[in-house]
């Protein structure tokens, strides 16, 4: 089981897998155990406001370090906007400058999406910080391959990781049911589809049931 202390990367097997809701759930679970939590959205693209969603659902302070208008990879969106490229050292300093027990750093898209200057990725950020990673995966067909590839890419750089199923369907089919047994890696739990629509109080209480975190690490 990974340790959820200090900086922790939240990444995904792809875009739209539920990283933001998973980040809010982890923050809620840790705060229920008396931990202090700070959430950093590394780079926000498009019209969404993931930091605001995390703050609303969990009550944890959350902020985005960079925002770009186009719904693209951050590196591409910054280039198109003529904006300065985010530096890896800037993000690392923001994480290390926090006094919270745990700093959750939510990436953008999948693990190897280019974020900023020189094309660094959230895997590079994990290596820079010596931080573990939570990989948010889909429940359905295809997730075994995507999850295994993501975990292998992290392992090759010495990054410890665990997996959360980001949107468990209310009526799981054969693939989803079998994936519960076959999904690679250590499992931290699962989050039901539509959890982001819950009232914050309900979301925070439910997060203690969805996730099995070793909060005593």
**Alpha carbon separation from 117 to 8, 120, 123, 126, 196 (Å, rounded):** 21, 6, 14, 16, 32
Measured in residues, the chain has a length of 217
Classify 212 as helix, strand or coil. coil
Handedness of CA 137, 138, 139, 141 (dihedral sign): negative
Burial environment of residue 174 by CB neighbours within 10 A (0 to 12, 13 to 18, 19 or more): exposed
Q: Which is the catalytic residue, given 5, 19, 41, 87?
A: 41
Classify the C-alpha dihedral 16-17-22-23 as positive or negative: negative
Could you tell me the two tokens for 200? Answer: 């914050």
Is 41 among the catalytic positions?
yes
C-alpha angle 144/146/148, rounded to 5°? 65
- How far apart (Å, rounded) are the C-alpha atoms in residues 159 and 166? 20
Q: For residue 17, report the phi and psi dihedrals to the nearest 5 degrees.
A: -90, -5
User: Phi then psi for 7, rounded to 5 degrees?
Assistant: -70, 135
Phi/psi of residue 165, each to 5°?
-80, 120
Which residues are catalytically annotated?
Answer: 41
């Amino acid at each position: 089981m990974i340790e959820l202390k200090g900086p922790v990367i939240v990444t995904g097997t792809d875009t739209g897998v539920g990283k933001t809701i998973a980040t809010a759930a982890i923050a809620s679970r840790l705060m229920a155990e008396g931990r202090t939590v700070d959430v950093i959205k590394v780079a926000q693209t498009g019209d969404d406001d993931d930091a605001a969603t995390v703050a609303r659902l969990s009550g944890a302070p959350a902020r985005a370090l960079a925002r770009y208008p186009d719904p693209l990879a951050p590196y591409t969106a910054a280039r198109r906007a003529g904006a300065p490229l985010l530096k890896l050292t800037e993000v690392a300093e923001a994480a290390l400058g926090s006094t919270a027990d745990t700093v959750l750093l939510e990436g953008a898209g999948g693990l190897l999406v280019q974020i900023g200057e020189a094309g660094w990725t959230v895997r590079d950020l994990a290596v820079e910080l010596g931080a573990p990673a939570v990989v948010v995966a889909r429940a359905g067909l295809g997730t075994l391959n995507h999850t295994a590839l993501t975990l292998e890419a992290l392992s090759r750089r010495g990054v410890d990781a665990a997996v959360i199923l980001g949107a468990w369907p209310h009526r799981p089919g054969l693939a989803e049911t079998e994936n519960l047994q076959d999904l690679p890696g250590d499992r931290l739990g699962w989050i039901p589809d539509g959890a982001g629509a819950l009232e914050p109080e309900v979301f925070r209480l439910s997060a203690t049931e969805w996730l099995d975190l070793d909060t005593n690490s």
